[in-house]
């Protein structure tokens, strides 16, 4: 593929709800532009963008794919992003480096949840947007219904540029609102002009008037001429749409049926003529506020937005060049990590196929293999002209799974494999819980984690077993007590002798462990006092027989006895351990559970369901806030044990329309009957 100047590049991300037809549209764009010679189908597992084994197996996109193509002397870098909530991290990374988001909306299902999620993120980024209403050839499809829904939710900036020619199975072409002409498509995607049906002319006039009103309002001079009855030229309409897109004030709507190649060329025409080039938009600010123009002559700056592990090439880093030119077979600087990198050849990727390029210029997207220190979100630059762009923040993972290798001895292979998966997908998080002795893999949902575990098996030959997730309960004392600890053994030669007396009391949550030395008169020599504390701490870490670490306890050592020959560090450690265990029997032990603050954002109609569900989970509601857009946030304190699978449960309750965030709050007592069951189960597992 030849190089293109910055002004002839369009970086486009296809986003929308899963199943709306994004991958089919990418396939149609590639075929219609001549980049490929056949149209693949997701159902047959032969598309360019869904090339991963998991995507073929599931028939859904799980990762962003790059699909560059050429159309009318322009290069379009098409990023096909996943539409399912579990893979939202991939979508967000792709949107960070795009200049235009094309929202693919099914004319059958209409506006769906993940389309709204993506739109909200695009608003946050200030990303230009347009809409492609797909599947107009399907039964129960409706352009009018879908358009009205889009305008209701996204506002009057939603402006149709075309009307359908025919309905459902008779859908065969489009009517251009700007040019007032109709075209019918052949099976190969070629179009021919046809007469506009008489029954569509009234609707066309109505939609065209709306479009001209919007165009006129964008410019005072145009508005004045328009009100005086003057004609607005096609060039002026296109220019106004271009400016409206760039400023994220107008969201043009094109239409079609991707699998039948209807309207695909019109979509590319709009992207090329009215979509933003990298040089049309304000350059992104660095973390210090600095900017660089989208010029090939400026110092190099590029953001790595995706990392892929290729079995043959190794690690592949996808990047967007914001300024300067990135050349292969040289050196560059990782500004984020302040380290130098040696680059191999540069290339672009079309799905899984590499296409070598000599360089990647300002505004373009490319890839390079085998960067040693570079990860997703890092900034690459020339040494001596450093700049650091804000990192791509991954979404907070919301579902934990405890995993272990099926084969003993594969622990190292598991960790190496998981670390490589995390390099590819920063929305994963790995945690080793020393209290429960479990390896916890956090992800966005069941499907997300299932994909990861399947890849571990196929890519890294590590079979993983899911085990029941253990909540990290804690324990504490119920009341004050005094206790004695003795470790006295005599058996020829040196014996063991250590005796200590302690007072204990529970502390307020969060105060931790306090050890107080109140020995006087030398009843225990100073050198053995730390030994007593060490023994107490060791026993508390084991939960005094419960298996759950003890916290928030004050221990006062006030008396004891020693032997000038038989006393030792070990003897007083054992004495301290016996003393705190005796104290536990006298004072009683309370089981504590982690309480998390949960904030659930849902449409208002689900608020009652969410409140009821949280209360069933022993949650304590703390309030409801209205945040606009018909949405509310429900806040509650909920035991962590009751929400470990809330990511899955919330989708079920709200049909995928809810979102939540959480954070650890505090520990509190577990209800007595439940505590007994938890301790009994833990003891049974310990003796199994």
Break the chain into its structural domains and give their ranges.
Answer: 6-280, 301-381, 399-467, 475-587, 591-676
From 61, 24, 40, select the one nearest 259 (Cα to Cα). Answer: 24
Query: What is the phi-psi region of residue 628: left when phi exceeds 0, alpha when psi lies from -120 to 50, beta otherwise?
Result: left
> What tokens appear for 514 in the block?
């306090």
Give yes or no for residue 1 having a pLDDT over 80: no
Q: What is the pLDDT of residue 402?
A: 94
Q: What is the pLDDT of residue 574?
A: 97
Which tens digits make up the pLDDT trace of 54-71?
888 888 999 999 999 999
Determine the average pLDDT of the residues in 433-461: 90
Beta pairing partners, 621: 636
From 353, 162, 352, 141, select the one nearest 259 (Cα to Cα). Answer: 141
Give yes or no for residue 183 having a pLDDT over 70: yes
Determine the average pLDDT of the residues in 282-297: 95
Which tens digits make up the pLDDT trace of 657-675?
888 999 999 999 999 889 9
Which tens digits make up the pLDDT trace of 592-607?
999 999 999 998 999 9
Residue-by-residue DSSP string for 141-189: --HHHHHHHHHHHH-TTEEE-EEEES-GGG--EEEETTTTEEEEE-TTS
- Fold for 591-676, please state it: Alpha-Beta Plaits (3.30.70)
Banded model confidence at residue 448, pLDDT cuts 50, 70, 90: very high
The secondary structure element, H or E, covering residue 365 is: strand 365-369
Which tens digits make up the pLDDT trace of 500-524?
999 999 999 989 999 999 998 899 9
- Cα distance between residue 326 and residue 381, in whole Å: 9
CATH code matching the domain that covers 475-587, chosen among 1.20.140.160, 3.40.50.720, 3.30.230.10, 3.40.50.620: 3.30.230.10
Matching residue, tokens 């271009």? 242
Residues whose CB is less than 8 angstroms from the CB of residue 198 and which lie 6 or more positions away in sequence, other chains included: none
How many percent of the chain have pLDDT more than 90? 76
CA R_g for the chain = 32
Q: What is the pLDDT of residue 31?
A: 96
CATH code matching the domain that covers 399-467, chosen among 3.30.70.260, 3.60.20.10, 3.30.70.870, 1.10.150.530: 3.30.70.870
If you classify domain 6-280 with CATH, what class do you get? alpha beta
**285: helix, strand or coil:** coil
Banded model confidence at residue 435, pLDDT cuts 50, 70, 90: confident
Matching residue, tokens 């001429």? 225
Matching residue, tokens 């992104």? 284
Determine the average pLDDT of the residues in 302-321: 89
Domain spanning 301-381, CATH architecture: Beta Barrel (2.40)
Least confident of 278-282, 519-523, 576-580, 625-629: 625-629
- Cα distance between residue 190 and residue 192, in whole Å: 7
Give yes or no for residue 228 having a pLDDT over 90: no
**Most confident of the following: 17-26, 308-317, 427-436:** 17-26
Give yes or no for residue 43 having a pLDDT over 90: no
Determine the average pLDDT of the residues in 7-16: 97
The secondary structure element, H or E, covering residue 571 is: helix 569-587
> What tokens appear for 249 in the block?
């004030």
- Cα distance between residue 355 and residue 371, in whole Å: 18
Q: Do domains 399-467 and 591-676 have the same CATH topology?
A: yes
Contact 455, 443 (CB under 8 A): no
- Cα distance between residue 338 and residue 74, in whole Å: 35
- Cα distance between residue 595 and residue 139, in whole Å: 49
Q: Mean of the per-residue pLDDT values for the chain? A: 92
Residues whose CB is less than 8 angstroms from the CB of residue 240 and which lie 6 or more positions away in sequence, other chains included: 215, 218, 219, 222, 250
**272: helix, strand or coil:** helix
Which tens digits make up the pLDDT trace of 208-218?
988 888 888 87
Contact 216, 223 (CB under 8 A): yes
Contact 427, 394 (CB under 8 A): yes
pTM equals 0.88
The secondary structure element, H or E, covering residue 561 is: strand 553-561
- Cα distance between residue 3 and residue 364, in whole Å: 9
Give yes or no for residue 403 having a pLDDT over 90: yes
Contact 430, 422 (CB under 8 A): yes
- Cα distance between residue 72 and residue 269, in whole Å: 8
Matching residue, tokens 């799905």? 351
DSSP 279: G
Determine the average pLDDT of the residues in 418-428: 90
Q: What is the pLDDT of residue 629?
A: 67
- Cα distance between residue 196 and residue 203, in whole Å: 11
Banded model confidence at residue 688, pLDDT cuts 50, 70, 90: low
**93: helix, strand or coil:** helix
Give yes or no for residue 379 having a pLDDT over 80: yes
Beta pairing partners, 595: 639, 666
CA torsion 201→207→208→213, rounded to 10°?
150
Give yes or no for residue 649 having a pLDDT over 70: yes
Least confident of 172-186, 220-234, 283-297, 333-347: 220-234
- Cα distance between residue 564 and residue 136, in whole Å: 93
Residues whose CB is less than 8 angstroms from the CB of residue 52 and which lie 6 or more positions away in sequence, other chains included: 62, 63
Which tens digits make up the pLDDT trace of 108-149?
999 988 998 899 999 999 999 999 999 999 999 999 999 999
Q: What is the pLDDT of residue 492?
A: 65
> What tokens appear for 577 in the block?
């351990």
Determine the average pLDDT of the residues in 66-81: 97
């Amino acid at each position: 593929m030849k190089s293109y100047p910055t002004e002839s590049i369009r970086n486009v991300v296809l986003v929308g709800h899963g199943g709306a037809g994004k991958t089919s549209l990418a396939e149609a764009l590639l075929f219609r532009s001549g980049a490929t010679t056949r149209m693949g189908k997701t159902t047959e597992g032969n598309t360019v963008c869904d090339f991963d084994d998991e995507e073929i197996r599931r028939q859904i996109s799980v990762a962003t794919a790059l699909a560059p193509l050429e159309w009318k002397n322009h290069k379009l870098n098409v990023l096909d992003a996943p539409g399912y909530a579990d893979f939202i991290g991939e979508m967000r990374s792709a949107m960070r480096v795009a200049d235009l988001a094309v929202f693919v909306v099914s004319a059958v299902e209409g506006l769906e949840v993940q389309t709204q999620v993506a739109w909200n993120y695009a608003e946050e980024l200030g990303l230009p947007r347009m809409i492609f209403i797909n599947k107009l050839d399907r039964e129960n499809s409706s352009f009018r219904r879908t358009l009205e829904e889009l305008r209701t939710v996204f506002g009057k900036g939603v402006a149709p540029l075309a009307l359908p020619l025919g309905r459902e199975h008779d859908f065969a072409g489009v009517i251009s609102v700007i040019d007032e002409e109709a075209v019918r498509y052949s099976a190969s995607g070629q179009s021919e002009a046809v007469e506009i049906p008489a029954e569509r002319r009234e609707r066309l006039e109505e939609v065209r008037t709306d479009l001209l009103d919007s165009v006129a309002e964008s410019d005072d001079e145009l508005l004045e001429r328009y009100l005086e009855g003057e004609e607005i030229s096609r060039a002026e309409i296109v220019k106004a749409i271009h400016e409206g897109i760039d400023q994220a004030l107008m969201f043009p709507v094109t239409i079609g049926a991707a699998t039948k190649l209807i309207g695909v060329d019109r979509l590319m025409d709009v992207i090329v003529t009215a979509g933003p080039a990298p040089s049309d938009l304000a350059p992104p600010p660095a973390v210090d506020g600095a900017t660089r123009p989208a010029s090939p002559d400026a110092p190099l700056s590029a953001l790595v937005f995706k990392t892929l592990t290729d079995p043959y090439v190794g690690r592949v880093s996808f990047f967007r060049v914001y300024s300067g030119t990135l050349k292969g077979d040289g050196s560059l600087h990782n500004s984020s990590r302040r380290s130098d990198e040696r680059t191999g050849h540069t290339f672009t990727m079309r799905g899984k196929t590499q296409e070598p390029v000599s360089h990647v210029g300002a505004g373009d997207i490319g890839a390079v293999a085998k960067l040693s220190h570079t990860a997703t979100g890092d900034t690459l630059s020339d040494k001596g002209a450093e700049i650091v762009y804000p990192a791509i923040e991954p979404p907070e993972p919301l579902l934990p799974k405890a995993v272990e290798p099926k084969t003993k001895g594969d622990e190292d292979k598991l960790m190496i494999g998981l670390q490589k998966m995390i390099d590819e997908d920063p929305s994963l998080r790995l945690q080793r819980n020393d209290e429960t002795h479990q390896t916890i893999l956090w992800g966005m949902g069941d499907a997300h984690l299932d994909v990861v575990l399947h890849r571990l098996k196929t890519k890294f030959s590590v079979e993983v077993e899911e085990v029941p997730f253990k909540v990290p309960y804690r324990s504490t004392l119920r009341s004050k007590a005094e206790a004695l600890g003795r470790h006295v053994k005599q058996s020829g030669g040196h014996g063991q002798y250590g005796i200590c007396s302690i007072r204990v009391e529970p502390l307020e949550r969060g105060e931790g462990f306090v050890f107080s030395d109140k020995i006087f008169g030398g009843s225990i020599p100073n050198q053995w006092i730390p030994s007593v504390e060490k023994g107490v701490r060791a026993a508390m870490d084991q939960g005094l027989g419960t298996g759950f670490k003890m916290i928030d306890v004050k221990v006062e050592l006030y008396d004891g006895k020693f032997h000038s020959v038989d006393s030792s560090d070990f003897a007083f450690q054992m004495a301290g351990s016996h003393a705190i265990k005796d104290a536990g029997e006298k004072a009683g032990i309370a089981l504590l559970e982690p309480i998390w603050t949960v904030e659930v954002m849902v449409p208002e109609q689900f608020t009652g369901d969410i409140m009821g569900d949280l209360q069933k989970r022993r949650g304590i509601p703390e309030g409801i806030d209205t945040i606009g857009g018909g949405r509310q946030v429900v806040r509650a304190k909920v035991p962590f044990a009751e929400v470990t699978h809330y990511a899955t449960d919330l989708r079920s309750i709200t049909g995928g329309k809810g979102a939540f965030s959480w954070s650890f709050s505090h520990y509190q007592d577990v209800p007595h009957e439940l505590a007994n069951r938890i301790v009994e189960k833990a003891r049974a597992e310990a003796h199994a």
